[in-house]
Amino acid sequence: MSKADVLEDWGNHLAQGRRRSPHTVRAYLAAARLLIERTGAANWASLAQLNTAQLRGHLASRRQDGLSNASTARELSAIKSFVKFAREQAGLAEEGAPRLRGPRIKKGLPRPVTPDDATNIADLVEGMAQDDWVGARDRAVLLLLYGAGLRIAEALSLNGNDLPLGETLAVTGKGNKQRIVPIIPAVREAVAQYAALSPWSIEPDKALFRGVKGGPLSPGMVQKAMARARIALGLPATATPHALRHSFATHLLGAGADLRSLQELLGHASLGSTQIYTKVDAATLLDTYRGAHPRERDD
């Protein structure tokens, strides 16, 4: 078996077996290719035998290449998945797999979740989940919060009747008030992927997002998934699911949205609740919003 064969098998497993997005497949293949080149392990047997020290050494060299904190966390997730797959191909038990942790990252002052942080969290949550459908589920929920500005309770209240998502969605918020929010392609695709992978049938009057036992998904499970990703990325404790909704609002305001429109999108009862977002540096947010807000990408 050649290096090309290994990478082809890995790519097929990600794209077809785990139904990862093209963006994720490219990133995970790149991480695997670098690991093979730097360790010399070019078949499943040798890759399965890589130990903790070797993997740590590889990650250390990647840090010296100038890899950012977020990129290091994502590459660590990719390498762990790749080595786990190698051990499965070689017939080795999971118990003996190398144990790796991300680098210690000094926590800074609390800061808003940037567009890059939001997309990195969503991608990492998907990659860290033990089951494919769970990863797709958590990613879909988080993108509903950031890409559509939903409250977590609003996202979890969606049911089968809401599928397939269109360009807009009717949301019932606090005080039983209904509003219409736009749904961008990236969010629609994430929800559709979850629905396709879910082991539970999508029924009209039942919760769309389900827990592992089939009941409605609880907010606590989404919070735990985001907390794991937040720690891996070195983000502050303020980076919670609800912070994604706040980020949706601040980024839109910085991009030129008016307060009245923003009030309607968020479902605020009074304009005063929306005016807090005027304190954000609009110029900075405009640049980051244009560069990285979730949207349909050319994969």
CA within 13 Å, CB half, 24? 28
Task: Identify the pLDDT of residue 147.
Answer: 82
Element (H, E) at 175: none
pTM score of the predicted model? 0.56
Query: Which residues are identified as catalytic?
Result: 151, 174, 242, 245, 268, 277
Task: Identify the pLDDT of residue 280.
Answer: 47
pLDDT band of 255, cuts 50, 70, 90:
low
Rg, the chain, Cα only: 20
Please calculate the CA angle 198-202-207 and round it to the nearest 5 degrees: 95
Torsional class of 83: left (φ above 0), alpha (ψ -120 to 50), beta (otherwise): alpha
The pLDDT tens digits of the residues spanning 63-121 come to 888 777 767 778 888 888 888 888 888 887 666 677 776 655 444 333 457 778 888 88
